[in-house]
Amino acid sequence: MIKLNFVLNGESKEITTKSNKRLLDLLREDLGLYGTKEGCSIGECGACTVIMDGKAVNSCMVLAGQIDDTEIITIEGLGDSNNLHPLQKNFLKQGGVQCGFCTPGMLMSAYALLLENPSPNEEEIKEAIEGNLCRCTGYKQIIEAIQKTAKELAKVISIAE
Amino acid sequence: MIPELNIYKPKTLHEILSLLDQHQNEIRIIAGGTDIVPGMQQGSARFNNFHSVIDINSIDELKSITFLENRVLIGASAKFSDIHKSEIIIKYFPVLAKAAGKIGSTQIRNLATIGGNFVNNAPCADSVPPLLIYNALLTIKSLNSERKILLKDFLLKPYKTQLLPNEIVTQIELPLISDKFIGDFYKLGRRRAVSISRITIAVLIDIEDEKIKELRLASGAVTPIGKRLIKIEEYAKGKTADKVLFRELSRMVGREILSETGFRWSSQYKLPVVQQMVFQLFMSLYSEAKESKSK
């Protein structure tokens, strides 16, 4: 058993778990956060993407024992059904969600991109989501949703200034 | 399922070396984890013979990218996303910066490390051809010794290197090269992202007075391990740089690769692709060289 201290969606956590778990298992089995999906388990599909210290990572490739002292953001930290994040609203509006299995991972990759680069061009968006497979939408609607969100957030910032 | 593990998180390099010395084959280093974690999860034979891992991510000296007078030092656990964006690497070793940006996906580049890419010597390691053309020199440490070895000598055969069980690669040293070199990296995979490379080629070329002063060429994935194509490099030396020569060199690359790998079911597809791709690489570098001269 190992003891872990980390920040999850803005809240400090102290948890004891088995040393053979991946971050993905810790989130789903120990913390009941089922938003993070398990797809391929080998880093190809991106369904398990979460944000670790500000960067998108595949949670199937990180051991739970490695997250001590890090900050993790999962889809549950992005927004909830009463208070959707602008990315979530725009994914819905643009038709970027169909079966929905890739959506949490896709949203986390998009969110990590906007954290680092608030006004990405189309190529930068494609690069940010290149590790997230979607078999329904054909990606166009997803890219549009991210572009739209970036524009909206830029407007909010310029008004605030 | 991953077996129960002891996870060590040392705070100093010395602690890492002591752990390696004490546990030898029973322990494995984990840096990015992109190979080892899914490997353990799937019960891969490469990863089922140890019960302890050393997470080396908290050691800053193994991650830094440092410019010295005539060389650049890259910590072995520097992440590909940092190498891809490093101003030092972009400026002095652009072929490596480009290759770093083509590895895996954004998520993988945020975890995977340069040392991890070649310590298991998979033929498809994308950073190997660029490191070979820049004559990468590795620093390898154990508790009681330190040695330096060129990457080309470190790589023995597929999945086999010179690394001993009590050793760790700490640093990759790249000597600065003439700014007259221009270069490029090409990767062919089945799709753009997260694909295992089928063919990778890294080229550096120095054309002066219409002649090839120096050519450096390395292949990966298509050969059993990443390697420099020395015979072709030597053949090109001093020859007039033109379309005819580049076509000839491209054919030679194809033949060399075929003699390395033997004829395989995929050769009929790969050979013309390699030849055409190398030719295009040469031609685009050639026009780049001409343009930069006319400026």
Q: How far is B169 from chain A (nearest CA, A)?
A: 21
* Window B:104-133, CB contacts with A under 8 Å: 104-108, 110-111
Q: What is the CA radius of gyration of chain A?
A: 16
DSSP class of B294:
H
Residue B11 token pair:
């705070």
Predicted confidence at residue B66, as pLDDT, reads 96
Q: Select the residue from A19, A61, A67 to test the B interface by mutation, using most B Cβ atoms within 10 A.
A: A61
Instruction: Tell whether the torsion through CA atoms of B243, B249, B255 and B260 is positive or negative.
Output: negative
Predicted confidence at residue B197, as pLDDT, reads 61
Instruction: Tell whether the torsion through CA atoms of B123, B140, A43 and B105 is positive or negative.
Output: negative
Decide: A10 and A17 in contact? Cβ < 8 Å: no
Predicted confidence at residue A90, as pLDDT, reads 97
Q: Round to whole Å and give the CA distance between B156 and B72.
A: 25
Predicted confidence at residue B268, as pLDDT, reads 74
Q: Look over chain B and give the mean of its residue pLDDT values, rounded to a whole number.
A: 90
Tens of pLDDT, residues B123-145: 778 899 999 999 999 999 999 99
The gap between the terminal CA atoms of chain B, to the nearest Å, is 60
Is residue A155 pLDDT above 90, yes or no? no
Predicted confidence at residue B82, as pLDDT, reads 97
Q: Give the residues across from A12 on adjacent strands.
A: A7
3-class SS of residue A81: coil
Q: Round to whole Å and give the CA distance between A15 and B129.
A: 43
Is residue A110 pLDDT above 80, yes or no? yes
Predicted confidence at residue A76, as pLDDT, reads 97
Decide: A112 and A55 in contact? Cβ < 8 Å: yes
Q: How far is B65 from chain A (nearest CA, A)?
A: 19
Predicted confidence at residue B117, as pLDDT, reads 92
Decide: B94 and B56 in contact? Cβ < 8 Å: no
B168 phi and psi, to 5 degrees? -135, 140
What are the chain A neighbours of B30 within 8 Å (beta carbons)?
63, 66
Non-local (6+) Cβ contacts of B288 within 8 A are B182
Q: Beta strands A71-73 and B6-8: pairing type?
A: unpaired
| CA-wise closest residue to B9 among B59, B49, B47, B50 | B59
Decide: A75 and A24 in contact? Cβ < 8 Å: no
Decide: B255 and B161 in contact? Cβ < 8 Å: no
Closest residue in chain B to residue A64, using alpha carbons only? B7
Closest residue in chain A to residue B38, using alpha carbons only? A42
In chain B, which stretches have pLDDT less than 70?
A: 189-198, 221-222, 262-265, 295
Predicted confidence at residue B220, as pLDDT, reads 83
Of A58, A63, A65, which has the smallest distance from its Cβ to B108's Cβ? A58
Q: Round to whole Å and give the CA distance between B169 and B116.
A: 9
